[in-house]
Amino acid sequence: MVKRAVILAGGEGKRLGELTKDTPKALIKVAGRRILYRNLKLLQDAGVEEFVIVVNKRFKEKIEEFLRQSGFDATLVENPHPERENGYSLYLARGHVKGEFAVLMSDHLYEKAFIEEALKGKGLIIDKLGLYIDKTEATKVKCENGRIKEIGKGLTNYDGFDTGFFVLDEGIFEVAERLLQEKEQLTMSELAKEAQLSCTEVSGKFWMDVDTPEDVKRAKKYIIQLAVKVAGDGWVTKLINRKVSKVLSYYLVDYLTPNQATWLTFFIGLFSALVAYFSPPLGGILLQINSMLDGIDGEIARARMQTTKFGAWLDSVLDRYVDFAFLTALAFHLKPSWDFMPWVFLAIFGTPMVSYSTERFKGAYCEDAYIVIKELRFLLGKRDERIFLIMIFTLFGWIKELFVFLAIITNVRVALTIYLVWKRKGKE
């Protein structure tokens, strides 16, 4: 496994205008996190232990300050001649790395899956699809027998795009030294071609370079998109809720922490309950809106690389209180006779029990109930579905029917959960 990485941040980043006047490109914030933070964190999570960052002299102090604040440990190597290009920057890392090491550009963003796969490769990582980049602007690579033959922006016959991510060894410094004896400037492309690096394909994953203010916006959009994908979403969440939360997360990711988003959603949920007491249909609509907002905290957390177990725990506990407050408000709106009250109690109690039975499963087995017992995914009664149906029932004024429906569906679901868990895991 590759344990070292060199990040080339020696450039000047002129095209970003105002954004990089006082700040190197590596320190630009995209979706609430600096590019350098994202790359260091992803590499670290993938097993990289030592970092070398080649920096433009002008920005060295800024980078040092960033490292201090973010708690990453890295060796800084100053590049006194940024105009000599990034191949020269890499050459300056000589003596600071040994064995195999990754090399990446400080203005490139990559998703987790890309980094994990790329670190297993060798030479230059190329992408055949380039789903997220401007293909006309991108550097293309032509390979032959698994090695680079041609590299450049103007190639028309090519095998993939240069992702700016390399896995190299110390041999590269000798090639660089030879080339630098002949010429002043050296780009990574020239160096890669001359060294006849291997081509490794990692296609279809998110990566892009950030060159212009428009790129920053585009990158943010993609990062939010990736943060929206969650295994185990119910169908209402997939078809409706995520469509809305995605848009809001895009605007909120720079301003809200995930936990702030959780509390905000909670208070909107309580407000929907208050409204439901006076007007169930209006409350129902607000609750469905709240359900749409419910995904935002998780999306922001993933996009900002700030997911915590605490956040997931808090979100669950508060969701139960919103459900409770809403149904209690409906009960007070209805004020039924005691003959009808069993349905009210069963609905109010059964609702958290759906969650309790599956969460307690995780507590017992340290595994996700929805992964171990797949049938649970197809059983009606998950929160997103319940809330959507609550809205429908309240819009039609079917409050009594709603309580009967919830009382049955939630408690039957718990009974079925007991049966399914017993069938699958009864002996453990």
Interface residues with a copy of itself (CB under 8 A) are 308-310, 312-314, 316-317, 320-321, 324, 328, 331-332, 335, 338, 341-342, 345, 348-349, 352-353, 355-357, 359-366, 414, 418, 421-422, 425-428
In whole angstroms, give the CA distance from residue 383 to residue 168: 49
Q: Which is nearer to a copy of itself, 396 or 422 (CB)?
A: 422
The DSSP code sequence of 409-422 is HHHHHHHHHHHHHH
Q: Which is nearer to a copy of itself, 271 or 321 (CB)?
A: 321
Question: Shortest approach of a copy of itself to residue 398 CB, angstroms?
Answer: 21
Q: Which is nearer to a copy of itself, 21 or 335 (CB)?
A: 335
CA distances in angstroms from 12 to 17, 83, 183, 279, listed in the order given: 11, 8, 20, 59
Residues whose CB is less than 8 angstroms from the CB of residue 366 and which lie 6 or more positions away in sequence, other chains included: none
CB contact at 8 A, 199 and 143: yes
Residue 221: which H helix or E strand, with range?
Answer: helix 213-228
CB contact at 8 A, 26 and 7: yes
Q: β-strands 101-105, 160-168: how paired?
A: antiparallel
Residues whose CB is less than 8 angstroms from the CB of residue 188 and which lie 6 or more positions away in sequence, other chains included: 8, 85, 86, 87, 90, 103, 105, 164, 166
Instruction: Give the tokens for residue 253.
Output: 């990711």
CA distances in angstroms from 335 to 22, 236, 408, listed in the order given: 64, 30, 20
Q: Which is nearer to a copy of itself, 50 or 263 (CB)?
A: 263
CB contact at 8 A, 73 and 41: no
Q: Which is nearer to a copy of itself, 380 or 415 (CB)?
A: 415
Question: Shortest approach of a copy of itself to residue 295 CB, angstroms?
Answer: 18
Q: Which is nearer to a copy of itself, 377 or 425 (CB)?
A: 425
Q: What angle do CA 18, 213, 256 make, to 5 degrees?
A: 95
Q: Considering only CA atoms, which of 21, 11, 91 is closest in space to residue 56? A: 11
In whole angstroms, give the CA distance from residue 288 to residue 294: 10
Q: Which is nearer to a copy of itself, 171 or 336 (CB)?
A: 336
Residues whose CB is less than 8 angstroms from the CB of residue 348 and which lie 6 or more positions away in sequence, other chains included: 324, 327, 328, 331
Point out which residues pair with 103 in neighbouring strands: 6, 166
Instruction: Give the tokens for residue 274.
Output: 């208050």
Q: Which is nearer to a copy of itself, 321 or 405 (CB)?
A: 321
Question: Shortest approach of a copy of itself to residue 126 CB, angstroms?
Answer: 38
Question: Shortest approach of a copy of itself to residue 420 CB, angstroms?
Answer: 11
Question: Shortest approach of a copy of itself to residue 330 CB, angstroms?
Answer: 11
The total number of residues shown for the chain amounts to 428
Q: Could you say which DSSP state residue 139 is in? A: P
Q: Considering only CA atoms, which of 107, 104, 122 is closest in space to residue 171? A: 122
Q: Which is nearer to a copy of itself, 265 or 357 (CB)?
A: 357
Q: Which is nearer to a copy of itself, 225 or 328 (CB)?
A: 328
User: Hunting for tokens 């433009």 — which residue is that?
Assistant: 56
In whole angstroms, give the CA distance from residue 181 to residue 171: 16
Q: Which is nearer to a copy of itself, 239 or 341 (CB)?
A: 341
CB contact at 8 A, 406 and 347: yes
